[in-house]
């Protein structure tokens, strides 16, 4: 978390503005500092983006980025498909399109959502540049500076950045192995009522959570929605991983259980290709109209070419079979990661056991800080995302997100081996400084505790 600083000061206590020159250069630090909007004051690079330059080095095993394994796609077939698309419909595909998105794609999106029990109309869908733009649009529709958003703790870092840009306050609701805890949600809403405050919406990733890896159980889905109904709370359901459950069972979307209370966000980044940047929002008509107007103000229209590519993929390719390929691939990598964690991690570590998606949430022993430990890990050629980046309130320092979606299984095992060595070194250093004696041997896998749910920083 960035330290709150007095207006016009740097973190060193130096004045900032157009007249402050950098030492020895004769140039200003930022000649526009006194012109920026208030909403930019808290903006900072996310924990994930800050890692990219380092984590992409070939010698580093990256357990950081949540990149889908696009090499598993039938590239030759997709290449032929795109070639035929341009040959047959190139001028239209390369032209401007409707601000709400291509009508054919919106109809096909309804077919995709039907797998999760959603009955939706193409007229209520707004196509966006990835679901990240949909998050931004919804935030701009509903949030004024100082408004409250409820979100799971931890929560998706891209959502936290969007809410921060909207100058909203995020109140985290804890999770356990079954996802968001309904009693904790009720407690947060009651506490806000006592302060005469109201949350604008609950933001949730119910399936194979990013970053915690847990899934909201079906009984809790009904409990959470009943509480939201009681408190008249809107729900923003972000569901990029819902079709990537390893057992092939598709959980009912919250939107399918409460159509009038849930705005649903979807994406093709994880189920097809992140590079097409096609997502969508399914919202009630009055909200959808505002989303379209804002989207037109931002981008005029979502890119026609990538929309046509996704529509052609859904129409001509065996995309449901491809989902099975992805599920098997990610399950194999999940298994490699969990097996390596069980065999190599110090006994005091705990971690989640995801049943789908991309992520494991690991919690370190007492006294360790994943953010502080990060430089040592990079030096040992392994990268992860510190847990503090997934909280708006500074929590999560003992935790980290591990992504198993992109590296090959052997590479994952090597990454876990390196990470385990770093943690063992940190524990030995801590014990040496606390007791004055060398740390004890932690190399065995005995007495390991594997948690089905998020660790202490989450629950």
pLDDT digits (tens, 9 = 90+) for 91-124: 999 999 999 999 999 999 999 999 999 998 999 9
Whether residues 92 and 104 share a domain: the answer is yes
We report the CATH number of the domain holding residue 268 as 3.40.640.10
Give the pLDDT band (50/70/90) at residue 58: confident
Average pLDDT rounded to a whole number, residues 14-29 = 42
For the chain, how many structural domains are there in total? 3
Answer yes or no: is pLDDT of 27 > 70.
Answer: no
Residue 330 and residue 286 in one domain: no
Residue 371 lies in a domain: yes
Domain for residue 450, yes or no?
A: no
Q: Is the pLDDT of residue 242 over 90?
A: yes
Residues 367 and 262 in one domain: no
Are residues 378 and 242 both part of a single domain? no
The structure's pTM equals: 0.87
> Domain of 58: which CATH number?
3.90.1150.10
Statement to judge: residues 238 and 112 lie in one domain: yes
pLDDT in tens, 445-457: 444 444 445 554 4
Shared-domain flag, residues 396 and 303? no
**Has residue 444 been placed in a domain?**
no
441 assigned to some structural domain: no
- Asked if the structure places residue 455 within a domain, the reply is no
Q: Which domain holds residue 290?
A: 75-316
Indicate whether 18 belongs to any domain. Answer: yes
> Last residue of some domain: 256, 287, 316?
316
Residue with tokens 């980290």: 400
Give the residue from 439, 355, 457 showing the smallest Cα distance to 401: 457
The 10 Å Cβ neighbour count of residue 179 is: 23
**Are 252 and 107 in a shared domain?**
yes
More confident residue, 23 or 167: 167
337 and 293 both lie in a single domain: no
Interatomic CA distance for residues 459 and 455, integer angstroms: 6
- Run of H or E including 383: strand 382-383
Mean pLDDT for all residues in the chain: 89
The pLDDT value recorded for residue 34 is: 83
| Residue at 176 is within a domain | yes
Q: Say if residue 8 is in the same domain as residue 57.
A: no
pLDDT at 12: 33
pLDDT reading at 432 higher than 70? yes
Residues 62 and 125 in one domain: no
Q: Are residues 305 and 345 in the same domain?
A: no
The pLDDT-based confidence of 443 (bands split at 50, 70, 90) is: very low
Query: Are 348 and 354 within 8 A, CB to CB?
Result: no
Compute φ and ψ for 375, nearest 5 degrees: -60, -40
Residues 195 and 340 in one domain: no
């Amino acid at each position: 978390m960035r330290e709150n600083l007095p207006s016009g000061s740097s973190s060193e206590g130096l004045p900032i503005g157009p007249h402050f020159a950098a030492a020895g250069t004769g140039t200003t630090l930022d000649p526009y500092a006194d012109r920026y909007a208030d909403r930019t004051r808290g903006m900072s690079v996310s924990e994930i983006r800050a890692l990219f330059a380092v984590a992409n080095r070939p010698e580093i095993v990256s357990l950081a980025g949540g990149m889908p394994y696009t090499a598993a796609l039938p590239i030759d077939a997709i290449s032929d498909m795109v070639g035929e698309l341009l040959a047959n419909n190139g001028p239209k595909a390369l032209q401007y399109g409707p601000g709400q998105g291509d009508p054919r794609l919106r109809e096909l999106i309804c077919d995709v959502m039907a797998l999760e029990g959603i009955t939706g109309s193409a007229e209520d869908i707004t196509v966006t540049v990835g679901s990240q733009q949909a998050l931004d649009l919804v935030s701009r529709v509903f949030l004024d500076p100082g408004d409250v958003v409820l979100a799971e703790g931890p929560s998706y870092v891209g959502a936290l950045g969007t809410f921060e840009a909207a100058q909203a306050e995020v109140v985290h609701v804890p999770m356990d192995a079954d996802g968001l805890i309904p009693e904790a949600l009720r407690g947060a809403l009651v506490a806000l009522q006592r302060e005469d405050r109201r949350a604008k919406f609950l933001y949730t990733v119910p399936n194979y959570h990013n970053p915690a890896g847990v899934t909201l159980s079906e009984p809790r889905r009904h409990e959470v929605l009943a509480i939201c109904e009681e408190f008249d709370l809107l729900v923003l359901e972000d569901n990029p991983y819902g079709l990537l459950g390893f057992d092939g069972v598709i959980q009912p979307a919250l939107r399918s259980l409460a159509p009038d209370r849930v705005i649903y966000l979807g994406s093709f980044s994880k189920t097809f290709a992140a590079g097409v940047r096609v997502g969508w929002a399914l919202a009630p008509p009055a909200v959808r109209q505002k989303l379209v107007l804002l989207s037109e103000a931002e981008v005029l229209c979502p890119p026609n070419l990538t929309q046509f590519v996704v529509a052609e993929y859904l129409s001509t390719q065996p995309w449901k079979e491809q989902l099975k390929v992805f599920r098997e691939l990610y399950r194999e990598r999940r298994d490699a990661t969990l097996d390596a964690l069980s065999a190599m991690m110090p006994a005091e570590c705990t971690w989640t056991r995801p049943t789908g998606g991309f992520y494991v949430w690991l919690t370190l022993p007492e006294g360790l800080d994943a953010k502080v430990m990060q430089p040592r890990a990079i030096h040992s050629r392994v990268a992860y995302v510190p847990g503090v980046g997934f909280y708006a309130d500074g929590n999560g320092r003992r935790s980290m997100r591990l992504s198993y979606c992109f590296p090959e299984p052997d590479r994952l095992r090597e990454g876990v081996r390196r990470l385990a060595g770093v943690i063992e070194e940190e524990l030995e250093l801590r014990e040496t400084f606390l007791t004055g004696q060398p740390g004890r041997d932690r190399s065995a896998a005995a007495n390991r505790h594997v948690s089905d749910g998020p660790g202490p920083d989450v629950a």
